[in-house]
Structure 1
Amino acid sequence: MPSTLLDELLAEARPIWQAMIEHPFLHELANGTLSRERFHFWVQQDYRFVQDGIRFLALLIARAPDEDLRRGLLDAAVAFRNELTIFEEYAHQHGLSLAVEPTPVCLGYTSFLLATAATGSLLESLAVLWGAEKAYYDAWSMVRARLGLAPTYARWIENWTSPQFATWVDWLGEQLAARATTQDRPSIRAAFVTTARYEYLFWDMVYTGTTWPI
């Protein structure tokens, strides 16, 4: 059976993809040994990421050439807004401030998203979005396989492993594959691999507590 564009993208990024899924942050979360401090740092930084993710989606919605893609991206923007609510409710329950400065990695990743949406091709932007969503589906599916829907993390796990989210990731990949041409593939691969690298760096950043040096 011939490989698809999506297969090729995942094969191209396999080393960094595996490193991302096997990151100590996720493994410690899955076995219940992750410190609350590290988890809270992730909550703060991922909240900032999702805020800019909505801006990224807004740019894509404006560029969408047809109603099917436009509606799918609009649904995603609503889902991102619902994710902000999960973060906000958790932060309220734990007295955690979400008014924090993005770290260099968080800022770099969101800047990459916004720059791609503003100046890259629509297909590069879709590759970035599919890469980010697929990364979270794979990462949190690993956590769910080991931890189930443990109460502490149930809302996060369910959000990124639900059948609805899986269907969205598949639909997005189908949109990318259906619209790409042979000429598009080099730039799509570059955008996807960069996304995979940032996904790894984001887990590494929240695990090590890396922030601005001064």
Structure 2
Amino acid sequence: MVSTQTLIENNKDLYIQATQHPFLAQLGKAQIDPKALQSFLNQDRVFALGYCKWLAMIAARIPLLEQSSKPNTHDVDSLHLMSFAISNGLREVNMFPNTLASLNLEYRAVEANAACFDYVQYLYQLDNNDDAIVALWALEKVYLDGWGYAKSLDTSRSSPYSELLDNWTCEQFVHFVDTDLKAQVERIQSTDTRRFDDIFASICRLEIAFWEQSLLLQ
């Protein structure tokens, strides 16, 4: 069995760097350069598109009806989860232009920067669903906890970014990450913990690079 808590503990330093990055600290304190936030939101829309395609790749590999005419309950649950994640990802793709406009920032149909492109390409090369599910949980866990950290710094609750902070820490997202995806990971039957540690560490590094490039490309 794979322990999500052990994956975090084994990569604690990288996890903290990814979830308490200066980008998130500046955002939570409402000290972020608007150009950095604009860069992030435009790139995150590009990432969300690649993310949705990747989820479809995971769904296509679910072994539903491959070895039996009776649908496997776990396969059906997995398909439902991927469907939910794709639907939610596409909702966010459509949300970005309006979010940027509400913050007086410019929406741009940009190309993926180096950090975004490398991140998506890493996900695409995970051709085993156990590996992909660990990566999916890891990236959503880091994202959830990163936004949670930023929100914890918004002590006045008067930040112009409160809507963003609430969106990525909402109860539905918490349940998706800490209940649904966690259960998917912890049902994996494998003793190869080093392989999953490497995936978690890679996701943390890719998240750090994504935050970092948003600060650099102002």
Normalising by the residue count of structure 1, what TM-score does the alignment of the two structures yield? 0.88
1:167 aligns with 2:175: yes
Alignment match, 1:82:
91
Question: Which structure is higher in helix share?
Answer: 1
Are the structure 2 counterparts of residues 80 and 150 from structure 1 closer, same or farther at C-alpha, using a change threshold of 3 Å? farther
- Choose the corresponding residue for 2:211, options 199, 203, 213: 203
- Choose the corresponding residue for 2:61, options 63, 68, 74: 63
Find the aligned partners of 1:179 and 1:36 in 2 and give their Cα distance. Answer: 42
Alignment match, 2:129:
122
Q: Tell me the C-alpha RMSD between the 2 structures.
A: 1.9
How many equivalent pairs are there? 204
- AA in 2 matched with 1:135: V
Query: Which aligned segments of 4 or more residues in structure 1 are displaced greater than 6 angstroms?
Result: none
- Choose the corresponding residue for 1:19, options 17, 32, 36: 17
1:140 aligns with 2:178: no
Deviation at 1:96, TM superposition (A): 1.7
Find the aligned partners of 1:186 and 1:113 in 2 and give their Cα distance. Answer: 18
Find the aligned partners of 2:77 and 2:122 in 1 and give their Cα distance. Answer: 25
In structure 2, the gaps of 5 or more residues are 64-74
- SS of the aligned residue for 2:31 comes to coil
Find the aligned partners of 1:201 and 1:182 in 2 and give their Cα distance. Answer: 30
- SS of the aligned residue for 1:7 comes to helix
8 Å contact from structure 1 (residues 91, 98) kept in 2: no
Find the aligned partners of 2:56 and 2:37 in 1 and give their Cα distance. Answer: 28
In structure 1, the gaps of 5 or more residues are none
8 Å contact from structure 2 (residues 34, 105) kept in 1: no
Find the aligned partners of 2:19 and 2:196 in 1 and give their Cα distance. Answer: 22
Deviation at 1:89, TM superposition (A): 1.1
Normalising by the residue count of structure 2, what TM-score does the alignment of the two structures yield? 0.87
Find the aligned partners of 1:61 and 1:4 in 2 and give their Cα distance. Answer: 21
8 Å contact from structure 1 (residues 17, 200) kept in 2: no
8 Å contact from structure 2 (residues 30, 159) kept in 1: no
Larger RCO: 1 or 2 (CA < 8 Å, sep 6+): 2
- Choose the corresponding residue for 2:122, options 87, 108, 112: 112
- AA in 1 matched with 2:112: P
